[in-house]
Amino acid sequence: MWEKEKPIKGDMGICMSCPPIHHELPLSQGVRIAVGFGDAYLTKDGTTVWRETSATEWDECMSYDAAEGMATADPDHDWRIHLISPLKESHYQRQGIGQWVLYEKGKGFA
């Protein structure tokens, strides 16, 4: 059995044009596991099962709701989404049906 991380609060990000860091991921259709420049990936028990690459087109990026579908089909695992960009970093853990909570955030890699 895996251990739930302690959820933390999101914020508005460091600049006015940066998207907010959500407390929970919005599972609306079309939102993608992607950052463009940086690293975005989905893990299951610490193993990467999908990763955005520099060659990945936007419409090829996995959506949040597709990741939820995978996790719903195999729920007894530690599923996480990691979004690391130049000015922000956010990490989410699936803690229930449709519930991906923020457990770690940072200033990115720049």
Which pLDDT tens digit goes with each residue over 48-93? 999 998 888 888 999 999 999 999 999 999 999 999 998 889 999 9
**What's the mean pLDDT when you consider all of the chain?**
91
Matching residue, tokens 């407390």: 23
Domain count, the chain: 1
Question: Which residue range is the domain that position 102 belongs to?
Answer: 1-110
Choice among 5-14, 16-25, 75-84 with the minimum mean pLDDT? 16-25
Q: Residues 63, 68, 74, CA angle at the centre, nearest 5°?
A: 135
Phi, psi of 72 (to 5 degrees): -65, -35
Q: How far apart, in whole angstroms, are the C-alpha atoms of residue 70 and residue 88?
A: 26
